[in-house]
Structure 1
Amino acid sequence: RTSSLCVMLQLLCGCLKDEKSATFLDFVMKCLMKLTKELKGTEEFVNFKYVLKEIHDFLVLFPSEHWETATDSTPLKVVKTLLSEIVALKGSSILTHLTLVPSHPTPTIITYIQLMLDGDKKDKPASPSSTPSSPKKATLTPELVAILKKCGAKDTTTAGLQDLWAYMDTNNIDDLSPVLAKVSANFRNYVLKKLKERKVEKERREKEEREVREKEEREKREKDEREARERERKEEKKQIVEKKEIVAVADENENENEGNKVSSLPSSSPSPSSLLPLPFQV
């Protein structure tokens, strides 16, 4: 996909630069539009930094001044359609794929991308805020009274504490002081001590989970980067081979045309009749 898009963009530049036939130009633009339509769903096979570099080169070769006097701006529209589709697929992350495009002075492609991103933000409705409800203080309910009684009984203390933690998590409660103010000091201190231990254990467990998650993400990111570099190397080799093949075909066609021209020239060698001796004259 990368090679196809890059080659078509290069051919488009070549058609406009060398003023190729309108038929061939139309063929190239149709191929490019077909590739653009098929981009969604196949983007994983595209190395966008090379495609964006070709789009940048096109916009440099044919700036806005060129299209002000051009009789047909369809080639520019085709390229902008391709760029718009890439922006729609990649979003703001497209900016990370501009490594082959110089940033100073600001190139036209970046201006187009910013306009497309801004337009996309305006078109999308603002999502409702999903701010989580803030923790609240506990109020005495029949369910909580039963749980506290369970905590106070020697045989069910551990199970009661588990029920209490579950109740606090379910109801998003982090402050038991209004309820504990109504129980004995010993029981209150016991529950607060267990609550503190639970908090420390919870923070420790969350820290471990976060470290494991960060490690997995880091390893995945490193793996993705290695695979991306390998794909880039393969893509570069493939592009080099394809460019060599295109050049070879062009050279072969040129040599064939030269041969046809030579064979069509009249022969300069003398005819057999001109080599006969002239009749003797007195």
Structure 2
Amino acid sequence: MKHEKKKGEGNISTVMQFVLLGFSDLPNLQGFLFGVFSMVYVIIIFGNSLIVIITNLDPALRKPMYFFLANFSSSEICYVSVTLPRILVSLWTQDRGISMLNCAIQMCFLHMLGATECFLLAVMACDRYVAICNPLHYPLIMNQRMCTQLAVGSWVSGIPVQIGQTCQIFSLHFCGSKLINHFYCDIPPILRLACGDTSAHEIPVYLVAVLFVAVPFMLILASYSKIISTILRLPTAQGCAKAFSTCSSHLLVVVLFFGSATITYLRPKSNHSARTDKLLSLFYTILTPMFNPMIYSLRNKDVITALKKILIKK
């Protein structure tokens, strides 16, 4: 495999193409991994598409909660499509080369959609807070206009920041190895390939991670602390069970997504290892999108009822 280089200023060689090592350390499992990831991709696309379709077809699900769930499932489809097709191509063809431009595009879209998911999860938590803690004002607060503004804000708010961060990362000189010990272009493994001291570039990465990961997560925690205290004051056990059932699915997705993302981006650089980064990234890039439809459908009676209606009609 040929890798292009061009001479920069001084004796620095600027890498024009990277190599995503991915699962190259498992040469005997390439076919097996291709099969597994192909099935996972089909499950993610089918399951999340089904949620989008159900929430749009059934009038009973035309509520803010399911509107945000449909947006979250749509973002999951886009999010996983940034990485998994590339992984499948690499496993099938054994061509692991990726140009710097394609690497930058992949990283930019990955983090833009990741920011969208973080904000949507925070918005969903706020929606549950208003529904449970202020039920009388819920229809007024979470009206159609407010829901649309929150959804649009979640989709677009990360775009300028992530474009700027991607430009900053790829303005660095990469004079060492071209081998990215990961299965997609992400910030930690890219920074490891840069020349010289990258600490000045790592500070903005931490600040962006705090803005898009830590802040939404703290907002979710604050919302659920209020929700739990309100639920515990409900007079009937049935009311408590219903409220907990409504929130438990969302909490499970939050723990899976934010837990792995927080450890990946906010832990000290000295604790980073390629193996750990790859393992953690599987959680928030592949496992969460796969489990999302199962968690929300199997633990939600309204979604199951809507699905039964559609199947009976068919």
If the length of structure 2 is used for normalisation, what is the TM-score? 0.21
If the length of structure 1 is used for normalisation, what is the TM-score? 0.23
Larger radius of gyration: 1
